[in-house]
């Protein structure tokens, strides 16, 4: 009986983590501290005799954090190195915390992400509508104004993960009409966010989910795939809603992608958009990796890039102090080829586990992370690194779980 109270408190602490991430990094840090205290107390009082349940592949994320630590040995900016360790501490902290015997994390993860994201995007839609109807200000529907303090790309990641669990995890008991309304709300919000990467990644993952659904209906054994009649049509409606709302409110952002092609083919092409800016920072990052095969150190990634931006006169990137905007390149600039290899192995380990266990949610989640990692340095901010590690530790199976 005593254990039930501590488990309940811990469960609700986990459920507060997604709202805290939407608020900001400090709130997330405080919430994680409270979770750690509750879980440690529960373990010491009620679960100390149990074996620890390490998640499969979690060692690669810990190794990646160790590279962050070692990267300080050849960093000139030690203040940035220390800040980086603080931001990325989830790489080791969450694998250890979830491995500790205690309250299960998966149910609280899906519940927290699903309802928090739904409430957040509903609020942003209502707020934008209020600004247009009452204050005659339609600009609140656009891009970062719509998403608020949450970067549009990260909101796209959060919203798509929420969709993956909709109807099978966090909202499996809601009425069918409400299920469809939630799907539409998430789709509309994703389209209105204007994140090109978020929209394209969401569409790609949902199409993959439809393929898996078709396989399951033909008799293939895929864990977690719902073969209900409404599941496929609901996903199709989601794709249509995302594309329609995205084109309606953010077509100009997709049109700017042509500027990226100009930058790749013309040396004197101006860099005036996020798409063109990404091409420039990718080219600059590759130049650093070529010259520094073991990286420039954890704290010196942006300063080294700033030197190249200044040399090449790329004011767009210089003014915004852009990082590599690609997690592989981020690892490569910081730690060279070893960093890129470790990050790749971390993702491949998750994909291997998902494929072996025929786990649809894990597979789609990892694919979604990989797609976002190709256009954002997703492990450089807490809304990325905490969310991703939390999701993986919630979905990944325990080592040797269920084996003879």
Q: What is the mean pLDDT of each run of 10 residues along the chain (404 residues)?
A: 70 96 91 94 87 94 96 90 93 96 92 96 95 92 88 94 90 88 93 89 93 76 47 87 82 64 54 72 94 92 93 86 94 95 97 92 96 95 96 92 46
Q: Is the dihedral of CA 247, 248, 249, 251 positive or negative?
A: positive
Q: What residue spans define the domains of the chain?
A: 1-48, 57-103+256-398, 110-255
pLDDT of residue 253: 66
Contact yes or no for 197/153 (Cβ under 8 A): yes
Give the C-alpha distances (Å, rounded to integers) separating 326 from 38, 122, 315, 352: 35, 30, 20, 22
Contact yes or no for 98/394 (Cβ under 8 A): yes
Give the C-alpha distances (Å, rounded to integers) separating 312 from 31, 75, 261, 284: 43, 24, 18, 10
pLDDT of residue 263: 56
pLDDT of residue 382: 92
pLDDT of residue 225: 46
Query: According to DSSP H, which parts of 43-172 are helical?
Result: 58-70, 78-87, 90-99, 106-133, 143-147, 152-165
């Amino acid at each position: 009986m005593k254990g039930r109270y501590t488990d309940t408190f811990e469960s609700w602490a986990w459920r507060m983590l997604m709202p805290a991430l939407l608020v900001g990094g400090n709130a997330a840090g405080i919430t994680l501290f409270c979770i750690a205290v509750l879980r440690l107390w529960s373990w010491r009082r009620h679960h100390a005799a149990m074996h620890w349940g390490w998640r499969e592949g979690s060692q690669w994320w810990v190794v990646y954090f160790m590279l962050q630590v070692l990267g300080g040995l050849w960093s000139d900016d030690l203040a940035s190195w220390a800040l980086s360790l603080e931001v990325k501490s989830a790489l080791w902290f969450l694998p250890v915390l979830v491995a500790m015997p205690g309250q299960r994390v998966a149910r609280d993860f899906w519940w927290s992400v699903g309802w928090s994201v739904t409430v957040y995007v509903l609020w942003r839609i209502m707020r934008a509508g209020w600004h247009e109807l009452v204050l005659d200000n339609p600009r609140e529907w656009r891009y970062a104004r719509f998403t608020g303090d949450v970067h549009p790309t990260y909101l796209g990641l959060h919203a798509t993960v929420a969709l993956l669990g909709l109807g099978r995890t966090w909202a499996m008991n809601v009425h069918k009409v409400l299920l469809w309304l939630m799907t539409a709300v998430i789709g509309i919000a994703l389209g209105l966010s204007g994140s090109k990467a978020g929209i394209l990644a969401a569409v790609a993952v949902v199409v993959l989910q439809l393929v898996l659904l078709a396989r399951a209906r033909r008799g293939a054994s895929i864990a977690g795939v719902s073969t209900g009649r409404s599941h496929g049509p609901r996903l199709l409606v989601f794709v249509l809603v995302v594309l329609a709302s995205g084109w309606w409110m953010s077509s100009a952002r997709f049109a700017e992608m042509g500027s990226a092609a100009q930058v790749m083919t013309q040396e004197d092409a101006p860099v005036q958009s996020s798409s063109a800016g990404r091409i420039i920072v990718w080219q600059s990052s590759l130049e650093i990796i070529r010259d520094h095969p073991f990286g420039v150190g954890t704290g010196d990634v942006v300063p080294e890039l700033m030197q190249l931006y200044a040399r090449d006169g790329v004011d767009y990137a210089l003014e915004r102090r852009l990082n590599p905007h690609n997690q592989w390149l981020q690892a490569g600039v910081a730690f060279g080829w070893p960093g890129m290899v470790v990050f790749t192995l971390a993702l491949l380990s998750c994909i291997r586990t998902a494929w072996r266990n025929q786990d649809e949610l894990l597979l789609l989640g990892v694919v979604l992370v990989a797609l976002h990692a190709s256009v954002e340095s997703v492990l450089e901010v807490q809304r990325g690194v905490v969310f991703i590690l939390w999701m993986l530790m919630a979905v990944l199976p325990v080592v040797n779980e269920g084996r003879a």
